[in-house]
Amino acid sequence: MENRARIGGVGKRGYFFGQNIMRIGIDARTILNPEKGDAIGAGHYTYQLIRHLLDLDQKNTYVLFFDFRVREKDVKKFTRPNTRIKFYPFSDYKKYLPGAYSELLGTATLQREGLDLVHSTSSSSRIPIGYRGKTVVTFHDLGVYAVPQCYPKLRRARDRAVSALMAKKADHIIAVSSSMKHDLEKYCAVPQDKVSVIYSGLDHRFFQEPTKSAETVLKKFDIVKNYILFLGTLEPSKNIVRLFHAFALFKEEYKKKTGKKKCDFQLVLAGKRGWLSQEYHQIAKDLGIHKDIVFTGYVIGDELVPLFRGASFFVMPSLYEGFGMTALEAFATQTPAILSNVSSLPEIAGDAARFVNPMDTKEIASAMAEFASDEAVRDAYRQKGLVQARKFDWRKTAEETLAVYRRVGGIA
């Protein structure tokens, strides 16, 4: 390698008792982004991956790149003897710069760190075209290709362009599921040997007793009946409209199954609003189910576990999922789950969920009625789910990611 040196110098590749040492850059801007609020999705992945890499590996040097505007106290948790915190110097005024100038500054920021490789933990966090060093990119989602009708035209065009660019530029790609690897081959013509499947882990707090009581959380959201939980961004890819239709059918089927005059269930939709979500309130009214629909908005971390545990069961009728983390969160909290039989969900869930065709509202409704009326069925899925959830561990994710770094860096 061009930048070999004895390990006495900071950061350059060298030798430590016969072992090569790398200088690894990780784009951490999806964490603590002041414009996007709390870390979700790619931000959560980036946070957990970095945290476990730093616990696992004290030999290589990690250069973590953050947005310029984050607070100093927010990055202190990532401080280690082998970490360097860097900021993109132009992020404060990037929107005012011509694209080419931003590219030049971004390239220079990375180039001067003498990195052996850069890991972009999301395909939407674009590595500058002009950067010539080794790169690893994690792909979480290709929904803009698989279900294009679920995204606005501008986002679809932008995300496709960036995904294609990152897929081509990356020296190696991490796919969060085998389904994602297949999508990369299908939509971006990525060769198989360029992709490693590395599953994300699951936060241990979902296995633990909640810090907040269920009563407090349910009271906050005005949940007053038994409830079915959905968790995710409220947008077309999550199949919310068909879920509403299925819930309307479920209410009638449940009454027939149980002989009750009323259906004592609410449908709780937990998650931030996405594209077209403003229409959901009216659709619920049109279907006559609005009095039993609860929109919680974004749910903060310590409210998630009690919200899962209080639910009779979880439903996730998505049209597409790159990984399906919320299904694992349901499993870990011993919440029985009904999931779509599409994309990554059968792979991630194994036999621990009841699968349905997301296009068939009657099938979704029937599964919901079965779960609502049969405690033995729910108990069986609780046990299976807990076993499945324990297979996903962030330390294992970090170990396998580090192995990719070593291969790309040429020291495997």
pLDDT at 99: 57
Which of 2-6, 298-302, 341-345 has the highest average model confidence (pLDDT)? 341-345
User: Does 208 share its domain with 154?
Assistant: no
How high is the mean pLDDT of the chain?
Answer: 90
Q: 397 and 303 share a domain?
A: no
Instruction: Name the pLDDT band for 35 (thresholds 50, 70, 90).
Output: very low
Higher pLDDT, 97 or 109: 109
Give the rounded percent of residues in the chain with a pLDDT score beyond 70.
89
pLDDT of residue 30: 87
| pLDDT at position 73 | 73
- Same domain, residue pair 229 and 100: no
Cβ–Cβ under 8 Å, residues 166 and 126: yes
**Are 175 and 212 members of one domain?**
no
Same domain, 179 and 36: yes
For the chain, how many structural domains are there in total?
A: 2
Q: Within a domain: residue 6?
A: no
Answer yes or no: do 319 and 175 share one domain: no
Instruction: Identify the pLDDT of residue 101.
Output: 56
How many angstroms separate the most distant Cα atoms in the chain? 79
11 dihedral zone (left: phi>0; alpha: psi -120 to 50; beta)? left
Say whether both 82 and 128 belong to one domain: yes
Is there a contact between 377 and 371 (Cβ–Cβ < 8 Å)?
yes
CATH number at residue 365: 3.40.50.2000
Q: Domain of 375?
A: 204-389
- Are 168 and 285 found together in one domain? no
pLDDT in tens, 226-284: 999 999 999 999 999 999 999 999 999 999 989 998 999 999 999 999 998 999 999 99
pLDDT 10s digits, 321-359? 999 999 999 999 999 999 999 999 999 999 999 999 999
Same domain, 369 and 348: yes
% of the chain exceeding 90 in pLDDT: 79
Partner residues linked to 67 by β-bridges:
88
**Is residue 142 located within the same domain as residue 246?**
no
The answer on 370 and 399 residing in a single domain is no
Q: How confident is the model at residue 77 (pLDDT cuts 50, 70, 90)?
A: confident
Closest by Cα among 117, 114, 119, 125 to 165: 125
Is the separation of the CB atoms in 364 and 313 below 8 Å? no
